[in-house]
Structure 1
């Protein structure tokens, strides 16, 4: 695919790149931690001796948030991330790319079937650690996880914000960040999503979190918002 690429350039966010194609289109990408292997069928790009993975904003809420104007990506090189709702590893694999070998990504997923897929991804990524567990009960997996710099939450539960806060109390370092993907229709199908976003961010503020930014993820994810909040 290298002949299709005009250039790969750095963005303002660490280890997140813009891949500029010869036809003028630009896509987000990350440097592949597991060269030669894609995770969800994404395009692999060779440029100046490095391999990059195209990061599809319609498949990843973090990529969608970046495309919608995320002011700051707290996911950086060499940090530790706890990811609740890791699923089969699409976004966790890109986070694995970003944190590199000095970082760690703990991926908690409730479904045994899906965890098997996540394990296959982790087999080629020494910084990705799958954990089969229920995110509502962090005490059950606390011994497996160090304190983290970022808590990423993408779970379809009515009490998803409460679960995020509970896990933050267990694992998030002071001045650490939450990236919370609010799924409005999982909370209340009768209310307007914007009303739900306000209610959920108010919960974070009441518990002492500083809400830095709230981004509506449409058109990448309908009725979803990404909340960036700082702890402590």
Structure 2
């Protein structure tokens, strides 16, 4: 699997790690201008580490849902174009604003990903990528509601958290239900479990129908 332009593999502390070029954010190791992308703290980093075909080339305009304090979205902004980062909780959103101060292409939005109409006037249409990492019930519904922003050949990169969806159900059953729901608006291209880095998580790559 080829990595997006701007993402490389480097040997750090005797291990091969993903790296991007940018200002450090969360105490990650650095190699010159390059910073380690910790797959154990990033679902998208985990997807790339295990070889999921994300379709990312580098330079895309991105809508990131569930940006939290900016760990993963900071790496995305290192190698992508304009990156709209949606976060609902005020405390991590404040940290996100600090991360954006050194990245001119990163735009924090204190909004609810379940209500895309509240940021539709800000976010561009015909985006190349939506990255979704939202810990809530109705993760497929969030993806379907935000589908409006993707161009026809765009990609949804979704990390499904089974325990956020239904803490009582078997993760495999949760993943089956989410795939079923997503099929209402997306063609699913690939799914992979992320258990090597994140227990009870499923990576989904999809494109709009």
* TM-score normalized by the length of structure 1: 0.85
Aligned to 1:8: none
Q: In the alignment, is the contact (CA less than 8 A) between 2:68 and 2:93 conserved in 1?
A: yes
Deviations 1:36-76 (A, max 9, x none): x3101011112xxxx11101010100111122220x23333
Structure 1 unpaired stretches of 5+: 1-10
Contact 1:161 1:203 survives alignment (8 Å): yes
Structure 2 residue 109 is matched with structure 1 residue 131: yes
Q: 1:17 is matched with which residue? A: 8
The 3-state SS of whatever aligns with 2:11 is strand
Corresponding residue to 2:128 among 137, 146, 149 = 149
Residues 184-203 of structure 1: pairs in structure 2 closer than 5 A: 184-203=162-181
How many residue pairs match? The answer is 207
Matched position secondary structure for 1:229: strand
Among 160, 175, 179, the alignment partner of 2:157 is 179
Instruction: Measure the CA separation in 1 of the matches of 2:91 and 2:186.
Output: 34
Aligned partners of 2:71 and 2:56: how far apart in 1? 15
Contact 2:65 2:134 (C-alpha < 8 Å) held by counterparts: yes
Partner SS state of residue 227, structure 1: strand
Unaligned runs of 5+ in 2: none
Instruction: Name the structure 2 match of 1:214.
Output: 191
| Offset, 1:181 | 0.8
Alpha-carbon distance in 2 for matches of 1:175, 1:231 = 7
C-alpha separation between the residues in 1 aligned to 2:71 and 2:119?
22
Distance 1:231 1:29 in 2: 30
**Which residue matches 1:118?**
96
